[in-house]
């Protein structure tokens, strides 16, 4: 280790006193920030740092033995476990099923609603659109657990009793870890976000100056060209934000899988988040060191993709 | 409504073409929009009707019942023992969370914009970074440990602490962009007049940020009211849990959870949010435009 030169120490001390003065001078300002920072540090920053630390140890929650530093052993073990890769792929598969619908449907709906000129009707549509967004998450899941119920759900009732397309014996088993579970959850998520995302796009459409499409029409552009060359480029920024944000939420889904899938390792809902939860709170002596490593691998994998997406979108403007 | 719109469009008549061809685009547009509206509303309508179905009708499964039965709502409160407890848990946990988060977000948002603390940029960057990291999922491992060391496992009141952080970052950022719409000159003028930072915030800035306040109220209400992961991990007893978590574990159709019972409880739990939003929607949309879209 090299030692800092005298000048560097002086500079550092000077900086330290300056920081101290700043803190004292801004004490009243920081008083306003203290409540928020207490919660933010106590229940977000510290837990994450702690999880990073225990991911390098053999920490097991239900033993009294102190945690030992094991370096990258947990990461190596997780990466050589096929379940890690399968569970990551399952999360990615869900994201692939969910993302297109959650962007394209709201886009279409927003363009249609934007042309409604009756202000009363426009308000009614907007209120209906946001109703699913104000239903708390768990209640959305309870609702759809019921919609998808094998025996008593209205969807299967429609498929078996109303239309007769299926017999009771071969009616689709939507939930509980079948091949249909991920698409079913994705459809539910699209339903949930449909209104909220449409409102997002409507805000973007409202920001397009009205004379722009008119000028294009005068120049002889048809509706399709108008959409492709005028509307869509203007909506691109909003679309990119939505893609990145929704990619993040879709990769890290956990509540839905806990409610609809359980802890069966063969279930397509057994993604990296459930893998982590299973190891941390269910199996054996709660191998939280290993669970933390799983969580970090999942988080880092999705962060890399998110940064890549941001890069791609930024270079495109 | 939609029909009226179509009809009024039809009166601006052009000869030669039939009414249908002339208005094909309008009909198609309203048709598609209304299809989506029905898709959004149908599941909720189904539960609402289920809650007032008589038991035989509930078994039959048809959409419209032959006989209505409105007694289910009173019945569930008498017969499902933990129901009042779970409702009360939901109410005070949500109230505490919304109150604490709002206070934190207003103070921090205001300070970041109008008091310009040095180091504020780092705070904003940290808040933004926490939005892109799956914080909620990964931090659960350590939050269990923290709650255990504070003796708060299986404590309903203790849930408020981690709940506050669920939307803290986004709430602060929303309040920050709402406060940015309050001109610095107004704040400076109040300072010149001798108002301290607290009075300036409460009497000048906060009334101007009313719409943003509505947004973070609703966002935090919705999150806290329906939180599942923390509640189901940090509590063990049915009596300690909030209503939605109990509902998520309920085996529909069995025992006390007959379908109409489940539907009635569901409507009781889901309606406060929808009603509150419908009344506050004007302020909510304004706040959304100020805080989210511009911010």
Per-residue pLDDT tens over the stretch B157-171: 999 999 999 999 999
Q: Name residues 151-190 of chain A within 8 A of B (Cβ).
A: 151-152, 154, 157, 161
Mean pLDDT, residues A25-52: 88
Q: Under an 8 A CB cutoff, do A48 and B138 touch?
A: yes
Mean pLDDT for chain B overall: 84
DSSP sequence for chain B: -HHHHHHHHHHS--SSS-HHHHTHHHHHHHHHHHHHHHHHHHHHHHHHHHTTB-HHHHHH--SS-SSB-TTHHHHHHHHSTTHHHHHHHHHHHHHHHHHHHHHHHHHHHHIIIII--TTHHHHHHHHHHHHHTTHHHHTHHHHHHHHHHTT-TT-TGGGHHHHHHHTHHHHHHHHHHHHTTS-HHHHHHHHHTT--HHHIIIIIIHHHTHHHHHHHHHHHHHHHHT--HHHHHH--SGGGS-HHHHHHH--TTSTT--HHHHHHHHHHHHHHHHHHHHHHHHHHHHHHIIIII--
Q: What is the pLDDT of residue B5?
A: 47
pLDDT value of position B281 = 79
**B273 → closest Cβ in A22, A136, A203:** A136
Question: Would you state the structure tokens that stand for residue A75, as one six-digit string?
Answer: 């990461």
B132 and B32 in one domain?
A: no
Residues of chain A in contact with residue B134, where contact means CB-CB under 8 angstroms, are 248, 251-252, 273, 298-299, 302
Smallest CA–CA distance from A282 into chain B, residue: B233
Q: Give the closest-approach CA distance of A75 to chain B in angstroms.
A: 15
Q: How many CB pairs under 8 A join A and B?
A: 257
CB within 8 Å: B137 and A254: yes
Contact A47 B37 (CB under 8 A): no
Interface contact flag, B1 A22, Cβ < 8 Å: no
Shared-domain flag, residues B18 and B64: yes
pLDDT tier, B13 (very low <50, low <70, confident <90, very high otherwise):
very low
Q: B283 contacts in A (CB within 8 Å)?
A: none
Residue A300 pLDDT: 94
pLDDT band at B175 (very low <50, low <70, confident <90, very high): very high
Nearest CA in chain B to A307: B132
Of B40, B108, B146, the CB nearest to A195: B40
Task: Give residue-wise pLDDT tens across range A83-120.
Answer: 999 999 999 999 999 999 999 999 999 989 988 888 88
- Nearest residue of A to residue B148, measured between CA atoms: A61
Q: Which residue has the higher pLDDT, A92 or B73?
A: A92
Element (H, E) at A49: helix A46-54
- Tally of structural domains, chain B: 2
- From chain A, the residues in CB contact with B127 under 8 A are 40
Is the dihedral angle over the CA atoms A178, A182, A186, A189 positive or is it negative? positive
pLDDT at A26: 67
**Closest chain A residue to the Cα of B276, Cα to Cα:** A134
B151 and B68 both lie in a single domain: no
Question: Quick one: pLDDT at residue B127?
Answer: 92
- Give A 60-119 residues with CB within 8 A of chain B: 61, 105, 108-109, 112-113, 115-116, 118
Q: What is the pLDDT of residue A315?
A: 74
Q: Using 50, 70 and 90 to split pLDDT, how confident is the model at B89?
A: very high
Q: Based on the domain organization, do B55 and B135 belong to the same domain?
A: no
Interchain CB distance below 8 Å, A50 and B142: yes
B4 or A234, higher pLDDT? A234
Give the pLDDT score at A3: 58
pLDDT (0 to 100) of residue A11? 74
pLDDT-derived band at A156 (thresholds 50, 70, 90) equals confident
Domain ranges of chain A: 6-54, 83-315
Nearest CA in chain B to A140: B226
Q: Which of A22, A161, A203 sits opposite B293 (nearest CB)?
A: A203
For A48, the closest of B63, B135, B281 (CB atoms) is B135
Q: Which residue from B232, B249, B250 is spatially nearest to B241, judged by alpha carbons? A: B232
* Token pair listed for A250: 């879709």
Region A71-92: mean pLDDT is 94
Give the residues across from B53 on adjacent strands.
B68
Residue B294 predicted with pLDDT over 80: no
Closest CA to B76 of B228, B236, B269: B269
Q: Using an 8 Å CB-CB cutoff, list chain B residues near A174.
A: none
Please tell me the distance from the alpha carbon of residue A128 to that of residue A126, in angstroms, as a whole number: 5
B126 chain-A contacts, CB cut-off 8 A: 40, 45
Looking at the structure, tell me whether residues B224 and B260 fall in a common domain. Answer: yes
Question: Looking at chain B, which residue has its C-alpha nearest residue A105?
Answer: B36
User: Could you tell me the pLDDT band of residue B10, with boundaries at 50, 70 and 90?
Assistant: very low
- Contact at CB, A43 and B281, closer than 8 angstroms: no
Q: Say yes or no: domain A83-315 is CATH 3.30.70.3420.
A: no
Residue B11 has pLDDT above 60, yes or no: no
Judged against a pLDDT cut of 80, whether residue B98 lies above it is answered with: yes
Cross-chain Cβ contact A151/B111 below 8 Å: no
Last residue of a domain, one of B18, B41, B72: B72
Q: What is the pLDDT of residues B135-162, one digit of tens each?
A: 999 999 999 999 999 999 999 999 999 9
Going by pLDDT thresholds of 50, 70 and 90, the confidence category of residue A47 is very high
pLDDT at A5: 67
Residues B44 and B166 in one domain: no
Domain holding B65, by residue range, is 2-72
Nearest-Cα residue of chain B relative to residue A277: B141
**B228 vs A138: CB contact, 8 Å cut-off?**
yes
Mark whether B117 and B142 lie in a shared domain.
yes
A294: closest CA of chain B, how far (Å)? 9
> Are B181 and B63 found together in one domain?
no
Give the angle A291-A294-A298 at the CA atoms, nearest 5°. 140
Chain B residue with the nearest C-alpha to that of A200: B293
CB contact under 8 A, A47 and B141: yes
pLDDT over 90 at A27, yes or no: no
- Confidence at residue B9, expressed as pLDDT on a 0 to 100 scale: 47
pLDDT value for B231: 94
CA distance B42 to B37: 8
Interface of A with B in 10-29 (CB under 8 A): 22, 26, 28-29
- How far away is chain B from the Cα of A279, in angstroms, using its nearest Cα? 10
Same domain membership, residue B133 and residue B28? no
Nearest residue in chain B measured CA to CA from A30:
B117
Q: Do B202 and B266 sit in the same domain of this protein?
A: yes
Chain B: closest CA distance from residue A30 (Å): 7
In this prediction, residue A229 carries a pLDDT of 83
The 10s digit of each residue's pLDDT in A264-283 is 898 999 999 999 999 999 98
**Do B141 and A39 count as a contact with CB atoms less than 8 A apart?**
no
- Residue in chain A closest to B234 (alpha carbons) equals A281
* A32/B108 touch (CB, cutoff 8 Å), yes or no: yes
pLDDT tens string A176-234: 778 889 999 999 999 999 988 998 888 888 888 878 777 887 887 777 888 888 888 88
Which of the residues B37, B41, B105, B134 would you substitute to probe the A interface, choosing the one with the greatest number of A C-beta atoms within 10 Å?
B134
Contacts of B232 in chain A (CB under 8 A): 258
Of B132, B146, B284, the CB nearest to A306: B132
């Amino acid at each position: 280790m090299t030692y800092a030169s005298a000048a560097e120490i002086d500079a550092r001390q000077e900086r330290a006193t300056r920081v101290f003065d700043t803190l004292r001078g801004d004490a009243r300002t920081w008083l306003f920030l203290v409540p928020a920072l207490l919660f933010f540090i106590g229940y977000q920053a510290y837990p994450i740092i702690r999880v990073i630390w225990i991911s390098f140890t053999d920490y097991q929650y239900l033993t009294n033995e102190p945690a030992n530093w094991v370096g990258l052993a947990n990461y190596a073990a997780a990466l050589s476990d096929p379940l890690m890769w399968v569970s990551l792929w399952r999360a990615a598969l869900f994201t692939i099923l969910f993302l297109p619908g959650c962007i394209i449907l709201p886009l279409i709906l927003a363009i249609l609603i934007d042309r409604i000129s009756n202000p009363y009707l426009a308000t009614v549509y907007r209120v209906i659109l946001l109703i699913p967004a104000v239903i708390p998450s768990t209640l959305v899941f309870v609702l759809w657990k019921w919609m998808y119920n094998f025996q008593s759900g209205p969807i299967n009732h429609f498929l078996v009793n109303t239309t007769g397309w299926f017999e009771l014996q071969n009616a689709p088993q939507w939930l509980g870890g079948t091949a249909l579970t991920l698409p079913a959850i994705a459809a539910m998520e699209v339903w949930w976000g449909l209104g909220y995302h449409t409102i997002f796009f409507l805000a973007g459409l409202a920001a397009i100056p009205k004379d722009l499409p008119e000028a294009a029409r005068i120049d002889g552009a048809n509706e399709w060209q108008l959409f492709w060359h005028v509307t869509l480029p203007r909506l691109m920024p909003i679309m990119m934000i939505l893609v990145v944000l929704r990619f993040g939420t879709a990769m890290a889904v956990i509540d839905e899988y806990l409610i609809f899938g359980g802890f069966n390792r063969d279930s397509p809902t057994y993604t990296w988040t459930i893998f982590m939860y299973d190891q941390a709170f269910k199996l054996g002596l709660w191998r939280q060191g290993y669970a933390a490593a799983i969580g970090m691998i999942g988080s880092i994998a999705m962060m890399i993709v998110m940064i890549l997406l941001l890069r791609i979108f930024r270079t495109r403007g | 409504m939609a029909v009226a719109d179509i009809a009024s469009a039809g009166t601006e008549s052009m000869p030669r073409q039939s009414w249908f061809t002339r208005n094909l685009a309008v009909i198609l547009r309203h048709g598609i929009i209304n299809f989506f509206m029905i898709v959004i509303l149908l599941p909720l309508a189904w539960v609402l009707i289920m809650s007032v179905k008589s038991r035989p009708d509930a078994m039959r499964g048809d959409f419209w019942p032959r006989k209505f039965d409105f007694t289910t709502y009173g019945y569930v409160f008498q017969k499902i023992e933990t129901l009042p407890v779970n409702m009360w848990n939901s109410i005070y946990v949500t109230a505490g969370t919304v109150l604490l988060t709002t206070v934190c977000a207003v103070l921090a948002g205001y300070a970041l914009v109008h008091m310009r603390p040095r180091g504020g940029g780092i705070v904003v960057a940290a808040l933004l970074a926490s939005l892109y990291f799956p914080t909620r999922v990964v931090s659960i491992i350590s939050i269990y440990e923290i709650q255990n060391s504070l003796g708060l496992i299986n404590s309903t009141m203790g849930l408020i602490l981690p709940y506050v952080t669920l939307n803290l970052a986004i709430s602060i950022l929303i309040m920050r962009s709402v406060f940015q719409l309050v001109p610095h000159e107004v704040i400076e003028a109040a300072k010149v007049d001798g108002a301290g930072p607290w009075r300036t915030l409460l009497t000048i800035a906060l009334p101007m940020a009313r719409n943003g306040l509505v947004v973070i109220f609703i966002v935090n209400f919705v999150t806290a009211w329906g939180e599942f992961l923390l509640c189901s991990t940090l509590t063990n007893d049915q009596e300690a849990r909030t209503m939605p978590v109990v509902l998520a574990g309920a085996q529909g159709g069995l025992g006390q959870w007959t379908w109409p019972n489940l539907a009635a409880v569901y409507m009781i739990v889901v309606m406060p949010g929808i009603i509150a939003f419908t009344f506050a929607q004007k302020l909510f949309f304004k706040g959304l435009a100020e805080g989210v879209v511009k911010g």
